[in-house]
Every structure is written in C-alpha cells, then in structure tokens.
Amino acid sequence: MVAPPPPPSRAAETIITVGQGDVQTIAEALKLANDGDTILLSPGMYRERVILNKAVTLTTVSAAFSPSPSSPGSEGVEIIWETDQPYESTLVCTVDGAAVKGPILIKHNSYSIANNYAVQLINCGSSTIIDGCFISSETGSGIGIEGGEPQIRNCTLKNCARSGVMVFSDLDGTPGAPKIQGCSIESNKQHGVLVRDGAEPVVVGNKIQGNGGYGLALQGCAGEYTQNKIKENSKGQVAIHLLLDGLASARIAEENGLEMKMITDTTLKMM
C-alpha cells in the first residue's frame, strides 16, 4: 500500500509592512495576510476602518515609542474613522487569535444609539489581545466587548463621550469573561467600566479615575474585580445593582479599598 502524501506545510509567517513598504492601507494588508502573519504599521495616520477577521498581529514599526493619548506625534501611528454612518467602529474583531499591539492611537466618530464603540470585540477568544493602545471616541465608548474572553492590557481609554469600557454577554446570552488589566480608564463622560447582562469579566489592576458616572457600574453581572485604583469618579466609585450569585459586594469593596453604602434595596454604592 502506498502511503498517502504528507499534508502541505504552511508557509513561514509573513510580515506585511503598511505605509512605507508593501501596501498603503491596512485593508490591503489584511487581504494579503493569512492567519499567523504580522501587519507592521509605519508611522502616520490611517483613515480607515479595520475589520480583523483573521488571526493576525497588527503592530507598529516603532514599538518602543509612546504617544500621548491625544496625539501620536511624528513617529506614532493613528487609526481614525469618522463617518456619518451609524454603527461603524474604527476597529472590529470577530476572531480568536488576533492581536493589536501598540503604541497605536485609535480614534472614532460615528453617531448611533447603540453599539457605538471605537473598538468592538465580538465573541473573541482568550488569545485575542488589545495591548498598549490609546483609545477614544467622540460619540460613544472606547471598547465594547460582546461575549468571549478577549484580553485588554495596558491600554488608555480616555475622553470618550460615553463609557471607557462596556462589557456584555453575547447575543445568545452566553456570559463573556474578558480580562481587563493594567489599563488607565479616565475622564470619560459616563462610567469607567460598565458591566451588564450576565457578563463575568476579570477587572484587575486598573486605574479608573475622573469619569463622569461611576468608576465601575455593575448591573446584573458577576466576575472578579480586584486591585483597582478607583477614585474621583463623579457619581461614586462603584455602583452595584442585582449582582449574580458568586459576586460578593463586600469582597469588591475590600479588594479595591472602598467603603460600601446601601442606597436602595437592590443597589449598593461605594465611595
């Protein structure tokens, strides 16, 4: 019997350079890329939507450079999407294994009532990572997470018209469990982090400060909330409404250094 031929081997990882290299737009690079490839952004402004539907890494040539939250500077990278069309995030990810590694400044302006985020993550797995990005939205929230377990690390979410981060279950009601760690979430007009609809995030080691609503607004959810520095938020540091089983309000207060106050029969406020 003749042995079957071995399966074809995958080509080595490809690096595609945008701006000062192979292509001029991120969209062109994504068309060329395969899972596992790296898209390297040259310094500059990219006025386009980014739809991550492949497990690629999007990063910058100047990985050691740190832009300010308002300007990328001459050596920085800015991705911006401004449109009259509703429901158009600057960056959308729908796959597991994609990564966006900054420093990258992500800006957004798209008017809509719901699903209004600079970055939208839909049912992404735990190997999807957003790391070291500066994210703001003139019309909505910084990051919207709908189900899944993506990781948000070392990002700055600042000056958003709504909340810094919004976390929900997916459309089928399956609770997501994303991890938000080491981020600075500040000066957003509504809440720092809003968690709803049965979501179960891990929110650890973040600075949540100076937001117009609560630092943490927890509504019908579970999860872990530890070692966060939560202060100077206009309505209070944490508001808890109808926690799910397994999420103890006293533990949240203790592990984040807060005092707890009952404001209604079902709502707690932490100062």
pLDDT tens, residue by residue, 169-178: 988 878 889 9
> Which DSSP string do the residues of the chain spell out, in sequence order?
-PPPPPPPPPPPP-EEEETTTSBSSHHHHHHH--TT-EEEEPSEEEES-EEE-S--EEEES-TT----SS---TT-EEEEEEESSSS--SEEE-SSS-EEEEEEEEEEEE--SSS-EEEEEEEE-TT-EEEEEEEEESSSEEEEEEEE--EEES-EEES-SS-SEEEE--TT-PPP--EEES-EEES-SS-SEEEETT---EEES-EEES-SSEEEEEES---EEES-EEE--TTEEEEEESPPTT--HHHHHHHTT--EEE-SSSEEEE-
What are the sequence ranges of the domains in the chain?
A: 37-270
Q: What is the mean pLDDT of residues 5-17?
A: 66
Single pTM value for the model: 0.89
pLDDT tens digits, 243-256: 655 566 667 777 88
pLDDT tens digits, 82-131: 999 999 999 999 999 999 999 999 999 998 887 799 999 999 999 999 99
Q: What pLDDT sits at residue 262?
A: 46
Q: Which residue has the higher pLDDT, 28 or 240?
A: 28
Confidence of residue 230 (pLDDT cuts 50, 70, 90): very high
CB count, 10 Å around CB of 106?
A: 28
The correct CATH number of 37-270 out of 2.160.20.10, 2.70.150.10, 3.40.640.10, 3.40.50.740 is: 2.160.20.10
Q: What is the mean pLDDT of residues 52-62?
A: 94
Confidence of residue 156 (pLDDT cuts 50, 70, 90): very high
CA 230 centroid distance within chain: 19
